[in-house]
Chain A
Amino acid sequence: MAATRGIDRGRVTADAVDRAFSDDQAAFVRLQGKAGMDFFSDGLLKWQDIFRPLMGALGVKPHTLIRWFDTNTFFREPELVGKVPTVTNPDGVVAAASVPRPRVATLPSPYMFSRAAHTDHDRNRLMVDLAHRVLRPAIDAAVAGGAELIHLEDPWLGYFGIKPEDWAPLGEALGILHRDLKATLAFHVYFGDAGPHIAQLLSLPVDAIGVDLTETDVAELGSSWDKGLVAGIIDGRTSIVESLDNTVEVARHLADTVRPRNLYLTSNCELGYLPTVVAERKVLRLGEAARKARELVSV
């Protein structure tokens, strides 16, 4: 933080910033190892917002600052006017070699990307174009770089909802991303109640559906979940660390009642809304809860 602030003001060199990023990433990797995470993330530490590396790959410098849903975080609106070019060099989305495998790669979902953009396109057409020209090349690069889980974030659907006629193009866009993919593809809805959308979500061509359990009633998840379930069980927006017992009980309930093909325990959203020290405690709690839940479920 100090290094990036310093370089913005011309008081720190680029080398010093690179060293600071490497140190922070190494610390984050150690933390994930200590917590017993099954997939390692690079923490997107260099990403100034979820679209930025992709916009960089497109050669577009975004300008307008927009509030990120109901947070005090802002993103630069992706400007996608005219034909969307095909991304050929999405290096910015590939984790550094020092991040252990298996890795999780996080990317914006095509639905959110198409809705958050400033564009002159039909948004559903744009969604499919983005899947084909931007996200698929990025996913392929991430998989080639060791990602085994592709985590598509979609707070837009959770927060603003979706029109009935948008489901089909969303399915088409996700189909482009899922076809012949040698990794697990997860579509994670957060910042809103996924309950009303469960049936449609389960029909999407992805391997796992993610929900934000701070907003979604566990009872609405049903008992016939024929995909993986990415359960956002740790709140990425509160500073209180969740009770171990309660978190384990919820995980156990999901395993016993919802009975997904695979159960992935995670935070309900990115942990970037938390100070590092709080986020670290939550990652450790998540790992602790997963271990305990695994023991109980296997008994």
Chain B
Amino acid sequence: MTVELDHKPLLTHEVGSLDKPGWRVKAYASKPLDDKDLEEARAWGERLTVPDYQKLLDLLRHAPFSKEQKAEIQRWSSLYALRLEESAGLDVVYDGEQQRTEMYDWAVNHTNGFERRGSVRAFDNKYYSKAAVIGPISLREPFHNAEFSYLVSVADAELKVPVTGAYTIADWSFDERYDVDTDLREPAVDRRRARHAARRDFVLEVSRNLIRPNLQALIGVGARWIQVDEPGASTEADELDLFVDSFNASVEGLDATFSTHLCFSDYNLFFPAIERMSQCRQYAVGFANYDSRELGTSEKARPGYQVIKKFADLPYKPALGLGVLDIHSDFIESPELVRDRVLYAVKVFGDPKRIHVTPDCGLRTRSWTVAYEKLKNMTAGVELARKELGL
């Protein structure tokens, strides 16, 4: 049974990742730390009033680190990220995925049936690792429980757990199991049919044998709001139904609130397929990347948000996590720009309780300084919108 979200209007939250501090990266990779790393840990510890951060500084001065010490440093990194988000004023937080390698890599590395193949470019100078499915898929061990349990013990704000979704995991993987015998002399239509059937088998096996058991484990340790991240969801325009089937197969009947995150897509493609995704109680969607940076609340002033009407009209009335921060730019959105994006969305939806306010996506490609400024302005902009709306 899916649990309803019942939050205050214009709830604010992050979406997922934050950059990993240099001290965390170097310590984990057994590389020497320099004074700059220690100063970074000190300065942010002081700025965010991280309790007992001097203990981290002591620890960082005592390299080389044992396996347990590396794990402790990762937990410190989680705590710092959590405090950054709380300090920026977010209502719902997580740890910027500080204990994970990366959203895809972390998942497949805890799964049977995959083998690493290497990295490929995503954009600019950003790369992601890819694996191939080579055998039956199963969960090797729950891979978010430890971080979640730690965060429960230290968080002041409500937690939302980001989990990579089945469709994205399959889409970002090579297939060396389901569709392996291609003969270019066969009719292309037959090859295409075989490829689609193989994709369905692959995606649904990830849903049933990997994502669902991992979600069950998370719920077992107390997770109440789980965000299924699906940046790959609209990659294949003719597979939106498969994406919906995979989401439903992952969450059906489970006792938590489920939302999903979509980004950098033509969102029109999701309609009407997601009309069948009623267990998704919130869509966190990136829009700012497509929007103007000018102020204004008219339709013309907000070109990046034209598609939100379709989300508003979904029959099961989910909330919309409104992306208002462009995560691929150091441009700091002003509170007034955030305010106007929010006011436009409220005007379209007619109900501020259905609007949550978020960055477009995880902020891991930005420095902490930029991410912090963006998030602070986001919450300040929401306050301006609340005032304007008399909330």
Q: Could you tell me which A residues sit within 8 Å of B by CB distance?
A: 1, 4-5, 7-9, 11, 48-49, 63-67, 70-76, 193, 195, 213-220, 233, 235, 238-240, 242, 246-247, 249-250, 253, 272-278
* Complex CA distance for A5 and B189, rounded to whole angstroms: 41
Q: Given known contacts A214-B182, A250-B185, A253-B185, is B118 in contact with A48 (CB within 8 Å)?
A: no
B290 within 8 A of A: yes
B174 within 8 A of A: yes
Query: Could you say which of B187, B191, B236 contacts A214, with CB atoms under 8 Å apart?
Result: B191
- Determine how close the nearest CB of chain B comes to the CB of A139; give it in whole angstroms: 25
* Complex CA distance for A277 and B192, rounded to whole angstroms: 27
Q: Which residue of B lies closest to A47 (CB)?
A: B121
Tally inter-chain residue pairs, CB-CB below 8 A: 104
- Determine how close the nearest CB of chain A comes to the CB of B177; give it in whole angstroms: 10
Q: Given known contacts A64-B290, A274-B120, is B184 in contact with A72 (CB within 8 Å)?
A: no
Q: Which residue of A lies closest to B118 (CB)?
A: A275
Across chains A and B, which 8 residue pairs bring their CB atoms closest together, nearest first?
Answer: A275-B118, A239-B174, A4-B125, A74-B123, A217-B188, A250-B184, A213-B184, A275-B117
- List 15 other contacts, CB 8 Å, given A71-B235, A240-B182: A9-B22, A48-B121, A63-B329, A67-B266, A193-B188, A215-B188, A215-B192, A218-B184, A240-B176, A246-B185, A249-B185, A253-B185, A273-B120, A274-B118, A275-B117
Judging by beta carbons under 8 Å apart, are A218 and B185 in contact?
yes
Q: Which residue of A lies closest to B116 (CB)?
A: A275
Judging by beta carbons under 8 Å apart, are A70 and B120 in contact?
no
Centre residue among A64, A72, A274 by max chain B CB count within 10 A: A72
Q: Which of B71-113 contact A (CB under 8 A)?
A: none
Judging by beta carbons under 8 Å apart, are B290 and A272 in contact?
no
Judging by beta carbons under 8 Å apart, are B117 and A48 in contact?
no
B264 within 8 A of A: yes
Contacts of A213 in B (CB 8 A): 184
Contacts of A195 in B (CB 8 A): 188
Contacts of B264 in A (CB 8 A): 65-67, 74
* Complex CA distance for A239 and B172, rounded to whole angstroms: 12
* Complex CA distance for A70 and B290, rounded to whole angstroms: 19
* Complex CA distance for A233 and B185, rounded to whole angstroms: 11
- Determine how close the nearest CB of chain A comes to the CB of B373; give it in whole angstroms: 18
B171 within 8 A of A: yes
B124 within 8 A of A: yes
Q: Given known contacts A70-B237, A274-B120, is B132 in contact with A239 (CB within 8 Å)?
A: yes
Contacts of A276 in B (CB 8 A): 118
Query: Could you say which of B119, B184, B187, B265 contacts A233, with CB atoms under 8 Å apart?
Result: B184
Judging by beta carbons under 8 Å apart, are A65 and B123 in contact?
yes
Contacts of A71 in B (CB 8 A): 235
Query: Could you say which of B22, B232, B266, B289 contacts A72, with CB atoms under 8 Å apart?
Result: B232
Scan B132-174; emit 1 where CB is below 8 A from any A CB, else 0.
1000000000000000000000000000000000000001101
Query: Could you say which of B187, B236, B289 contacts A70, with CB atoms under 8 Å apart?
Result: B236
B180 within 8 A of A: yes
B175 within 8 A of A: yes
Contacts of B122 in A (CB 8 A): 72-74
* Complex CA distance for A70 and B236, rounded to whole angstroms: 5
- Determine how close the nearest CB of chain B comes to the CB of A73; give it in whole angstroms: 6
* Complex CA distance for A136 and B126, rounded to whole angstroms: 31
- Determine how close the nearest CB of chain A comes to the CB of B212; give it in whole angstroms: 23
B356 within 8 A of A: no
Query: Could you say which of B125, B188, B234 contacts A8, with CB atoms under 8 Å apart?
Result: B125
- Determine how close the nearest CB of chain A comes to the CB of B176; give it in whole angstroms: 6
Contacts of A253 in B (CB 8 A): 185
Q: Given known contacts A274-B120, A275-B120, is B189 in contact with A72 (CB within 8 Å)?
A: no
Q: Given known contacts A67-B265, A75-B123, A273-B120, is B184 in contact with A238 (CB within 8 Å)?
A: no
Q: Which of B350-374 contact A (CB under 8 A)?
A: none
* Complex CA distance for A4 and B124, rounded to whole angstroms: 9
Contacts of B119 in A (CB 8 A): 1, 275
Judging by beta carbons under 8 Å apart, are A72 and B172 in contact?
yes
Q: Given known contacts A214-B191, A238-B175, A239-B174, is B123 in contact with A49 (CB within 8 Å)?
A: yes
Judging by beta carbons under 8 Å apart, are B184 and A65 in contact?
no
Contacts of B183 in A (CB 8 A): 246
Contacts of A70 in B (CB 8 A): 235-237
Contacts of B124 in A (CB 8 A): 48, 76
Judging by beta carbons under 8 Å apart, are A65 and B289 in contact?
yes
Contacts of A7 in B (CB 8 A): 125
Q: Which residue of B lies closest to A271 (CB)?
A: B120
B130 within 8 A of A: yes
B47 within 8 A of A: no
B128 within 8 A of A: yes
Judging by beta carbons under 8 Å apart, are B117 and A65 in contact?
no
Contacts of B235 in A (CB 8 A): 67, 70-72
B347 within 8 A of A: no
* Complex CA distance for A195 and B188, rounded to whole angstroms: 10
8 A-B pairs (CB sep. < 8 Å): A5-B127, A49-B123, A66-B264, A76-B123, A233-B184, A239-B176, A246-B184, A247-B184
* Complex CA distance for A269 and B92, rounded to whole angstroms: 43
Q: Which residue of A lies closest to B187 (CB)?
A: A217
Q: Given known contacts A63-B329, A64-B290, A72-B172, is B188 in contact with A216 (CB within 8 Å)?
A: yes
Contacts of B289 in A (CB 8 A): 64-65
B7 within 8 A of A: no
Q: Which residue of A lies closest to B231 (CB)?
A: A72
Contacts of B175 in A (CB 8 A): 238
* Complex CA distance for A119 and B264, rounded to whole angstroms: 19
